[in-house]
Amino acid sequence: MTQTITAAAGFLIAVLWFDLMFDVQVLRHRRAPQVPEDVLDSISGYYRRVTTTASPMGRLVAVAMVVLLAALVAQAARGDAPAWVSAVSLAAGALAIGLAAARVLGAAKRLGARIDALEVRSGLARGICRDHLVCLSGMVVVLGVQLACA
């Protein structure tokens, strides 16, 4: 089960890394009231591609999330790892995946649509970056705990 968990977590870390390559552009402008439009255009273009025009590849990310959560639950239920490993991994994985499903995907689709005013898009881009950093932290915890106890 650990191999499945580490593979899924590693894949999701890679996806987050690609997302963050665009997201971090907002950090240079964190003190500004709004993110410059050219930066938002870069980020928006990326999210339009990955949430809309790259279909069905986005489904692969959802499959990896489901596989990871199922494997973590199975690991905990079967006692394949110490209880604390399963508990920490499941909590970190559920937090990251829940945040991505509940907030990031909708915000990324909306940002990619470019239908909102500049200040709204700035807020969306900043929120996506912040949420992706939390998601990355969660996935790194899952991978680190699993590898440390393998």
- Whether 104 contacts 131, CB under 8 Å: yes
pLDDT at position 29 is 95
pLDDT at position 31 is 93
pLDDT at position 52 is 86
pLDDT averages per 10-residue partition of the chain, 150 residues:
95 97 95 94 95 84 96 96 96 98 96 95 97 98 94
pLDDT at position 115 is 95
pTM of the model: 0.93
pLDDT at position 141 is 98
Distances (CA, A) of 9 to 18, 39, 62, 131: 14, 29, 12, 17
- Whether 78 contacts 1, CB under 8 Å: yes
pLDDT at position 53 is 86
* 3-class DSSP assignment, residue 61: helix
Domain ranges of the chain: 2-148
pLDDT at position 57 is 79
pLDDT at position 55 is 76
- Whether 143 contacts 9, CB under 8 Å: yes
Q: In the 3-class helix/strand/coil scheme, how is 28-61 assigned residue by residue?
A: HHCCCCCCCHHHHHHHHHHHHHHHHHCCCHHHHH
- Whether 35 contacts 121, CB under 8 Å: yes
Residue 60: in which H helix or E strand, if any? helix 57-78
